[in-house]
Amino acid sequence: MKYTWLVEKYLEGELSGEALRKFELEILRKPEVAEEVERVRSMNHFMKEQHSKFQDSIGLIEDYEDSENVIDEEIIRQDLDGLKVRKISSDQKKINDLITKLTESKISRTLVNQQSNKVLVRKISVWLAAASVAILMVISISLVTGKSGTVDYMAAYQQFYSTPQTDLLFRDMGPGIDNTYNLALEQYDLKNYKIAYQLFNDIPEESPPNIHYYLYKGVTAMELEEFRVAIRSFTNLLSDPVQKHEGMWYLGLSYIALEDIPAARQVLEEIIATDGYYKKQAKKLLKSI
């Protein structure tokens, strides 16, 4: 379900402010979202309960191979020699089975005499139990996400994406081609993205009115899910010292929408490394993918 990623963030207390308010409204308005919240909450409770039971049982387990009462194999061989058991040699496969049975029998008698309250198991049994819990957790994740534990990248994209406001200082650029740019910005503000996109395309990219042209055209392309066009537009901002980080932020989001995660990680890590304006958001987004 597309809300699963947000549900997990909501239950972990990682949503706040406007994002939290909007999601709580979604819970009230849409029964399927409320059901998803309860489903994930129940699954999380189940997993915590199983993990707690497993942790509590660890103290009741003792590996008999670590016990002081384990009989050394050499001693067993000497005993066999003393009993004149000549038909079994240490080279034969069955000797290992016999040693194991004799060892377990001796340990069992010792524990009864000591009235031990621990369960005696092999190390391999503990490992298998731990592996079972791990497998159960993987299955649980699959049930919760419906995607075998994969990330819902579009949900992450929608959570962090928002359209930037147009800057009035860069509108009055004179007659001619700049008038088309102003009309495009007006349609952008009205959220008429198809018309805005057509107007932006009427302006030759090699001679834009100003550097902001690439930002708003790129965001308009994102609104129309033309993410490859958006990437080409945002790339033009990377050489500008003022608009660089804003261009990088929307570039990273576009890569996520295309599920090109290696490219998205590279951009987000560069934002963090260069202490960009979107550094905090980039850290959160990076953790979610």
Name the pLDDT band for 131 (thresholds 50, 70, 90): low
Count: domains in the chain: 3
Pair 25, 92 in one domain: no
pLDDT digits (tens, 9 = 90+) for 20-67: 888 888 888 888 888 888 888 888 787 777 767 766 666 555 554 555
Q: What value does the mean pLDDT of the chain take?
A: 75
Pair 53, 100 in one domain: no
Pair 24, 110 in one domain: no
Which has the closest alpha carbon to 226: 204, 194, 189?
194
| Contacts of residue 251, Cβ cutoff 8 Å, sequence gap at least 6 | 230, 231, 234, 235, 238, 267
pLDDT digits (tens, 9 = 90+) for 247-285: 999 999 999 999 999 999 999 999 999 988 899 999 999
Pair 111, 137 in one domain: no
Region of 61 on the Ramachandran plot (φ > 0 left; ψ -120 to 50 alpha; else beta): beta
Query: In Å, how far are 16, 46, 111 from 146, measured between CA atoms?
Result: 26, 17, 47
Domain membership of residue 87 as a residue range: 61-117
Q: At what angle do helices 227-235 and 244-257 cross, to 10 degrees?
A: 160
Which has the closest alpha carbon to 8: 211, 215, 221, 159?
159
Are 79 and 73 a contacting pair, CB within 8 Å?
no
| Contacts of residue 12, Cβ cutoff 8 Å, sequence gap at least 6 | none
Are 192 and 42 a contacting pair, CB within 8 Å?
no
Pair 73, 166 in one domain: no
Pair 214, 283 in one domain: yes
Which has the closest alpha carbon to 10: 51, 47, 41?
41
What's the pLDDT score for residue 206?
78
Are 267 and 255 a contacting pair, CB within 8 Å?
yes
Pair 109, 139 in one domain: no
To which residue do tokens 């990273």 refer?
A: 252
Pair 145, 225 in one domain: no
Q: How many C-beta atoms surround the C-beta of residue 195 within 10 A?
A: 15
CATH number reported for the structural domain that contains residue 211 in this entry: 1.25.40.10
Rounding to the nearest 10 degrees, give the CA dihedral for residues 233, 238, 243, 247. 50
Hey, what are 229's tokens? Answer: 């066009």
Are 76 and 99 a contacting pair, CB within 8 Å?
yes
Pair 166, 196 in one domain: yes
Name the pLDDT band for 152 (thresholds 50, 70, 90): confident
pLDDT over 70 for what percent of the chain?
A: 60
Pair 18, 75 in one domain: no
**CA dist., res. 147 & res. 94, Å (int):** 47
Pair 48, 182 in one domain: no
Are 203 and 182 a contacting pair, CB within 8 Å?
no
At residue 177, does pLDDT exceed 70? no
Pair 239, 110 in one domain: no
